[in-house]
Every structure is written in structure tokens, then in C-alpha cells.
Homo-oligomer: A and B are copies of this chain.
Amino acid sequence: DIADAIERVLPSAQGTSLVGRHVLITSGPTYEPIDPVRYIANRSSGKQGHALARAAKDMGARVTLISGPTHLPDIPGVTTAKVETAADMLDAALGALPADVAICAAAVADWRAATQAMEKLKKEEGQTALSLALARNPDILATLAAPGARRPTLVIGFAAETETIITHAQEKLSRKGADWIVANDVSPDTGIMGGDRTEVHLVSASGVEDWPAMSKDEMAVKLLGRAAEALQTMQLAAE
């Protein structure tokens, strides 16, 4: 279980705690409607985001989980808001502030249908090609990471990539203003998207750490242990 996992992967972090902290986590895919029955989705299972919520709760935090559509059970003791679209996810995230830590683990659609049809789109006889106009979705990570009084102390994003993983993650770190980016390779042959295990790189201004392959539960405990340490260090520095 989580307690065992803490002992195993985080011997140096024993005693770190998130008691008194509010941790905000986004999880799962978003669904972007095209019409009343069709939508654009992605293969995120929500397993990593939900593992993070469980781990944060087990470390004593108050946890708000904002989840896109998944088939995962609710987590007792975690306040969960269920949303579909990126726009609704952003609204729920902003509504949950202030937070000490924000972890954007959801696979948010970059694009939504530019116009959502109120009736099911009909195809016309003989029509063999169609162009679907897409509009850019709001950027939840960048919005949460933007400087301001309500910015969480620690803002962590995820980068799910299929090529040149580290370079993309470093670009994402500076472009979004996040403190850390957790980068992983979601190429179908890795089995990470939808699977129970992961292999990540922690990218921050101070460099890149390559973490060994581990379960998503273990990764959650390790990442939140690091977050607890960072909050403590920042607090000591401010005192």
C-alpha cells in the first residue's frame, strides 16, 4: 500500500508531511464535444492523477481532485469535482484556489471544436471530405502558474510526449511558468498511457532527474514527498 511505498522509495523523506496543506490535482482526459453525440478525447486513464490524490491525502493534505471522465472510483476523503471539457476544468481549478501545491496531471485537450453543433451533424450524400474547425483551449497549467497573489507556491505540470521528451519538457517548463515538469514517454509501445507503471524525468530550473521505472502509486508518493520538502525549504527561507 501507500505507506509501504513511502518506506520503500522515500527513506530520506520520512517525516515529510502535507498536514495543513491544500493540494489541487487535475486528472484524466477532457472530452471536447463536436455535437450532442460526438467528441474529441484522449487515452488518459486518470490513474496517475488519482494516485497523486491518494498519496497527498495519505500524507495529510486537504486534497481537491478535478477529474475528467474516467472509470476510476472516487477516493474517500478527497473532494472531487467531475468535469468534461478543458473550460470546465479551468473553472473548477480556479474555484478551488488558494492552494499550496497544484499538480496538473490531466491530459487536457489543446483544441476544442470551434463551434459545437446543437443537433447531430448529418453527412451529405457523396461527401467524402470534411474539415473540422478547431479552436485553442485555455491553458490550465499556464493560468495556474502565472504570477499573482493566488498562484500556488508550487506548480507542477506533466508533459506526455512521444519524441524528444526532455527538450519538449524544458520548453514547456519555461513557456508555462511551472516550477517542475514531470515528463514521460507515452508512445503506445511503452504501455504507460492507461497502464499501472510509469517512468518519468523530473525537469526543473535546476536540471533533469531521471527516475527509475516504478508504479504510478510509487511515483505519486515520491513526487509528493519532494513537494513537501520543497514547501518546507521555501517556508524556512521565508522565515
Instruction: List residues of chain A with CB under 8 Å of any chain B CB.
Output: 34, 36-44, 71, 107, 109-111, 114, 119-120, 122-123, 125, 127-136, 160-163, 168, 175, 186-188, 193
Complexed CA–CA distance, A37 and B136 (Å): 17
Number of copies of this kind of chain in the complex: 2
Q: Is the CB of A129 within 8 A of B123?
A: no
Q: Is the CB of B119 within 8 A of A128?
A: no
Q: Chain B residues near A188 (CB, 8 Å)? A: 36
A40 is contacted by which of B40, B129, B161, B162 (Cβ under 8 Å)? B40
Q: Chain B residues near A123 (CB, 8 Å)? A: 110-111, 136
Complexed CA–CA distance, A110 and B120 (Å): 12
Complexed CA–CA distance, A129 and B161 (Å): 22
Closest to A40 in B: B40
CB distance from A84 to the nearest CB of B (A): 11
Also in contact, A129 and B120, with CB within 8 A (given A37-B43, A40-B38, A193-B37): no
Q: Chain B residues near A130 (CB, 8 Å)? A: 111, 133-134, 136
Closest to A161 in B: B120
Q: Is the CB of B162 within 8 A of A119?
A: yes
Q: Chain B residues near A131 (CB, 8 Å)? A: 131-134
Complexed CA–CA distance, A37 and B29 (Å): 10
Complexed CA–CA distance, A163 and B36 (Å): 11
Q: Is the CB of A37 within 8 A of B160?
A: yes
Q: Chain B residues near A107 (CB, 8 Å)? A: 37
Complexed CA–CA distance, A119 and B187 (Å): 8
CB distance from A126 to the nearest CB of B (A): 9
Q: Is the CB of A132 within 8 A of B134?
A: yes
Complexed CA–CA distance, A86 and B225 (Å): 45
